[in-house]
Amino acid sequence: MAPDPLDDVRHAATNTLYVGVGLSLMAAQALQVRRRELERGLGLSGPPSPAEVRRLLARVTGRT
């Protein structure tokens, strides 16, 4: 029995999907690490309150 050429296409598509999902997960993890580093650098311990967001934005934009 001859091999089905569509099998090669299915395998290539599946592998491409797996690689895409894997790269997406790695990117999401890298963003999480960066976010936590930024929080530590700014001295934030959890989700900021609206007042903290305003103070942070003023600090970042240079307004006091």
Q: What is the dihedral of CA 6, 11, 13, 15, to 10 degrees?
A: -170
Contact between residue 64 and residue 58 where contact means Cβ atoms under 8 Å apart: yes
What pLDDT, on the 0 to 100 scale, is given for residue 11?
A: 95
Dist. CA 63–CA 59, nearest whole Å: 6
Q: Do the beta carbons of residue 56 and residue 42 sit within 8 Å?
A: yes
pLDDT digits (tens, 9 = 90+) for 5-57: 899 999 999 999 999 999 999 999 999 999 889 888 888 777 778 898 898 88
